[in-house]
Amino acid sequence: MTAGVDLRLTGPGKLDVGEAHLPTAPLGPDEVLVEVDRVTLCGSDHALYDGSYGGPSSYPLRFGHEWSGRVVDTGANGRSLLGRWVTGDCSRWCGDCPRCATDRNVCARIQKFGLTVDGFSTRLRTVDRRYLYPDTHDLGPGLLALSEFFAVAAHGLHRVDPRPDERVLVIGAGALGLASYLLLTGAYGVGRVELLEADPAKAAAVAELLPSAPVHTAEPEPDTAAQAAGGYAALTAQARYALTVDCSSGAGGLATALAAASPRGRVLCFGLRRSAALRTDLLVANALTLVGSIGGTGGFARAQEFLAGHREEAARLVTHHLPAERAAEAFTLDPRTRIKTQLLFGEEPR
């Protein structure tokens, strides 16, 4: 067990770099002490840093909800985890309310690690064992720290039940979009999955990372006959996908997803933004099913099983590794060329 770096965001653009200290309070029976090895930066971490995050949040805050580490001490009920590599939930759920009975990501008393309560941007972190997932596939700390966002994608896709014969459009080729693409093709066996990324530089970077992925920079060309017909037909001018998945951060992502979905199609939305306009004409006239999804609780087993079988492809999504002391630099990397950045708090191989 070693002392190390402790990182806190005290406000937008304000990062405090300190030293982690061994907790002085005794561990409760269900608590464990984790020696954090690395944190994988999420888009929400970047948004917290620049002040643009659209969901509930608070400062000061230890960020980081995508992470891996090793259990170095436990309370009485956590002995089976001692020495094991683990990762954990972003959702801090209660487990007792009626909502938790169906989906713990929408718990009535939900808090979010690294967003509304302290996350894991510190070398030593005490956490309740019920929020942890051991590495049961020998992923190693690097892949294990990708579990959470793959679990988010897996949890959402499970709700819309993709089928192998469908044509699917994923909007936004960031990390969540690429995780969705890999799961759709690798876990669900969908043969026709396309990516839409409006930024040409980001699209080019993704094409290098995943050469087999069809990446478009322009929205689907409208059907001129449908446009000319006008009326309800015009509302289906771009509709050609049975399932569209909005993983974008831009305000227009959901509108594109609705316009591109075929009549009676499904639209899965991961984007958390307050300002997006909802095209109810497309939603209603085309009898679409719109599904919002948040959190990865319930998806970790599927995510880790997938990562175990697709190690090389998943590892490519980590484009940058930096020591935790250089976190400020990590937050300013060019978003057009980075996918995932891992901040290293430990000394394990990448």
Q: Are residues 245 and 157 in the same domain?
A: yes
Looking at the fold, whether 127 and 237 belong to one and the same domain comes out as: no
What is the rounded average pLDDT for all residues in the chain? 94
Same domain, 81 and 36: yes
- Decide the pairing of beta strands 124-128 and 192-196: unpaired
Q: pTM here?
A: 0.95
The Cα–Cα gap between 45 and 210 comes to: 24
Domain match, 115 and 159 both: no
- What residues make up the domain containing 43? 5-146+317-344
Q: Once rounded to an integer, what is the mean pLDDT over residues 175-185?
A: 98
* Whether residue 1 has pLDDT greater than 60: no
Residues 128, 160: one domain?
no
Q: Are residues 25 and 113 in the same domain?
A: yes
Q: What is the pLDDT of residue 271?
A: 78
φ and ψ at residue 61, rounded to 5 degrees: -160, 135
pLDDT of residue 176: 97
CA-closest candidate to residue 331, choices 38, 45, 16? 45
Structural domain includes residue 272: yes
Q: Say which residues have a Cβ less than 8 Å from residue 52's Cβ, sequence separation at least 6.
A: none
Beta strands in the chain (DSSP E): 5-11, 14-19, 31-40, 67-74, 85-88, 91-92, 111-112, 124-128, 132-134, 167-171, 192-196, 215-216, 241-246, 261-269, 289-292, 318-323, 340-344
Residues 119, 138: one domain? yes
Amino acid identity of residue 37, one-letter, is D
CA angle 158, 92, 331 (to 5 degrees): 85
Give the rounded percent of residues in the chain with a pLDDT score beyond 90. 86
Residue 300 lies in a domain: no
- Kind plus residue range of the DSSP H or E element containing 256: helix 253-260
The number of domains in the chain is 2
216 and 136 fall within a common domain? no
What percentage of the chain exceeds 70 in pLDDT? Answer: 98
Residues 158 and 288 in one domain: yes
* 113 and 240 belong to one structural domain: no
Cis check: omega of the bond before 60, within 30 degrees of 0: yes
Are 90 and 157 members of one domain? no
Confidence at residue 229, expressed as pLDDT on a 0 to 100 scale: 87
pLDDT average, residue stretch 54-75: 95
Q: What is the CATH number of the domain that holds 80?
A: 3.90.180.10
Residue 297 lies inside a defined structural domain of this protein: no
User: pLDDT per residue over 147-174, tens digit each?
Assistant: 999 999 999 999 999 999 999 999 999 9
Mean pLDDT, residues 43-68: 94
Q: What is the pLDDT averaged over residues 213-242?
A: 90
Same domain? 334 vs 272: no
